[in-house]
Structure 1
Amino acid sequence: MLPRWLPWLLLALFLVGGGVEFLILRSGSDRPSPAPTYPSPSTAPPGAPGLDPTPTDTPYSTPGAPSLSSSPSPPPAPSPSADTPSGIVERFYEEINSRDFAAAWELGGKNIGGATYSDWVAGYGTTRQITVSAVDRTSNSTSDSTSAGEVSAVVRALQNDGSVKVYSGTYTVSDGAIVDAHLTGGQ
């Protein structure tokens, strides 16, 4: 005959064992699953010997890349070459927008405005961003690396208070720098 406590002991062991198994299985599901790995795209031509071709419909995307379902965006408008007169005017304002006033000063800030460097920089203190539409009116290349010519431009200066000042006029460019400017507006 078996002692009366033995069936209770077996039942307790069974319940404890089942509980422990449950906890072990449950704790395993709480762990983050490893990130899926995907084959890296190959730069080899398709069908190159010894390579496994990567399917083109792989369900992953590269961060920052457009999704396959989005419509293609139009190509960016061609910008003028940096060595054209209009390219130099546009680069001048890009330097101001990036707050590289020393580079903008060298591109022509020192030739227009009739101010000291510190006064000229202070003049942009209330300006948040500048956009410019520049078109070459005349252009004659004096060498492969320098340009001369007159540029028509419309300049829109977004101010810190949200207002926009609009200027229009001409820039004269010579030897890769702005040498003169005649702008009106600012209201």
Structure 2
Amino acid sequence: MKAAILVAALVSVCAAACGTPVVGVPVPVQVAVTPAPTTSTTVVAVPAAPQTVYVQQPPVYVAPADTAEARTVVAYYDAINRRDFATAWSLGGSRIAGGGGYTKYVNGFATTSWDTVTVTDVRGSTVSVVLSALQADGTTRTFSGTYTVSGGVIAGSHMTRTK
């Protein structure tokens, strides 16, 4: 019974947290577990002390420098991970899509489950990154390269698949 309550609480917490950006740090979650009543004639329900459970989620990004340019690239991938392609498009997807329009751009992410971007360097408007794209089939595609950010949007990119 306790295990079922704990699992239900964790599923609820995980479902609620899926839409929020995560930076790879375990998130403490307070879970109160009430023991099942005993079979004796006197039943006293005493709530147990809350337990801390750590829920680890995949990181969205790791950034060595907190700059506006790095935050733009991180926001771009956060939007993609949330499947908010309209926001990703407006953050520069339209400029780096390579033609074909919005529908082709969105379809290009059909087999991607989750992107993890690591900002490795920021020099002026150039943001260097390593990207790990987890695919729906469980494989990972890895890319490295740069994004050029101008006026709060990605103006260009040069990415190369490394794996």
The alignment's TM-score, normalised by the length of structure 2, stands at: 0.62
> How far does residue 34 in structure 1 lie from its aligned partner after superposition?
4.9
**Counterpart AA for 2:118:** S
More strand by share: 2
SS of residue in 2 equivalent to 1:161 = coil
Structure 1 residue ranges (4+ consecutive) displaced by more than 2 angstroms after TM superposition: 33-37, 77-81
**Kindly, what percent of the aligned residue pairs are identical?**
37
Counterparts of 1:125 and 1:87, CA distance in 2: 25
- C-alpha separation in 1, matches of 2:120 and 2:130: 9
Q: 1:138 aligns with which of 117, 123, 142?
A: 123
Letter in 2 for 1:155: L
The CA distance in 1 between the partners of 2:94 and 2:63, in whole Å, is 29
Deviations 1:63-100 (A, max 9, x none): 5x359xxxxxxxxx77754x621121111111101111
Could you list the per-position Cα deviations for residues 31-69 of structure 1 after superposition, in whole angstroms to 9, with x for gaps in the alignment? 7x35336xxxxxxxxxxxxxxxxxxxxx722x5x359xx
Q: Conserved in 2, the CA contact under 8 Å of 1:170 and 1:181?
A: yes
* Code of the aligned partner of 1:119: K
Which of 84, 102, 107 is the matching residue for 1:117? 102
Aligned residues: 117
Q: CA RMSD, aligned part only?
A: 2.7
Cα pair distance change 1:60/1:168, threshold 3 Å: same
The AA in structure 1 aligned to 2:129 is A
For residue 80 of structure 2, give the secondary structure of its aligned residue in structure 1: helix
Q: Is the contact between residue 86 and residue 135 of structure 1 (CA under 8 Å) also seen in structure 2?
A: no
Tell me what 2:141 maps to: 165
Which structure has the bigger radius of gyration?
Answer: 1
Secondary structure of 2:129's aligned partner: strand
